[in-house]
Amino acid sequence: MPLLFLLALFLLADFIVLFTLGAKLGLLLTLLWIALSAAFGLHLIRRESLLTLQRARERLALGELPSDELLAGATFVLAGVLLMAPGFLSDLLGLVCLLPGSGQLARRWFPRAASGGGRTQGQGGSEWGPAASTAHRDSAPRDESEARPLEGDFIGRDSSGHDGDSR
């Protein structure tokens, strides 16, 4: 609830500054600023979302969690959204998000996301990467008689108590 209240106050202040500076600068210059910042924000969102996705795929291919790439991409996308919003304060905040130190600030505010925050497999591999799927496949028993059901596996049995599996 306090976050929603702060967001409402920010939007109100943004529109007050927009109308105050718009009266001083003139309608044409204010509309030009809003259109140019929105176009730059849209370009930033398109470019950074594709680059972030590409970098995240490369990290996943290496068996690592792409948390740093996703956090940096989220910072750039937030900057693009703020630049697309009409207002001078939101544009100023969007430009602050583009500064080089803003990623470090985001890592400090969201330490769990920056440190990986997810579950890892050990020895540097991620549980979701390709190394995890091959490790599980390689450790599976070779003989079906050695196979034990995993938690959540369903084993069908008929009324005589035999497995429903006819292998």
| 70 or 16, which is more confident | 16
Q: How confident is the model at residue 125 (pLDDT cuts 50, 70, 90)?
A: very low
Contact between 79 and 44 under an 8 Å Cβ cutoff? The reply is yes
Residues 6+ apart with CB under 8 A from 114: 67, 68, 71, 106, 107
Q: Compute the average pLDDT of residues 145-159.
A: 63
- Is residue 76 pLDDT above 80, yes or no? yes
Under DSSP, is residue 133 helix (H, G, I), strand (E, B) or coil? helix
Q: From residue 126, how far is each of 86, 142, 147 by CA, in Å?
A: 41, 25, 25
- Is residue 158 pLDDT above 90, yes or no? no
Give me the pLDDT at residue 19, please: 93
Q: How confident is the model at residue 113 (pLDDT cuts 50, 70, 90)?
A: low
Q: How confident is the model at residue 8 (pLDDT cuts 50, 70, 90)?
A: very high
Using a pLDDT cut of 70, give the percent of the chain over it: 63
Give me the pLDDT at residue 149, please: 59
Q: Compute the average pLDDT of residues 157-161.
A: 66
- Which DSSP string corresponds to 19-59? HHHHHHH-HHHHHHHHHHHHHHHHHHHHHHHHHHHHHHHHH
Mean of all residue pLDDT scores within the chain: 76
Q: Compute the average pLDDT of residues 109-115.
A: 60
For the stretch 31-68, pLDDT in tens is 999 999 999 999 999 988 888 888 888 888 888 888 87
- Which DSSP string corresponds to 56-84? HHHHHHTT---HHHHHHHHHHHHHHHHHH
Tokens of residue 60, six digits: 């996943």
The region of weakest confidence among 52-56, 127-131, 159-163 is: 127-131
Identify the bridge partners of residue 163 per DSSP, sorted by sequence position: 157
Residue spans of the domains in the chain: they are 34-117
Give me the pLDDT at residue 163, please: 57
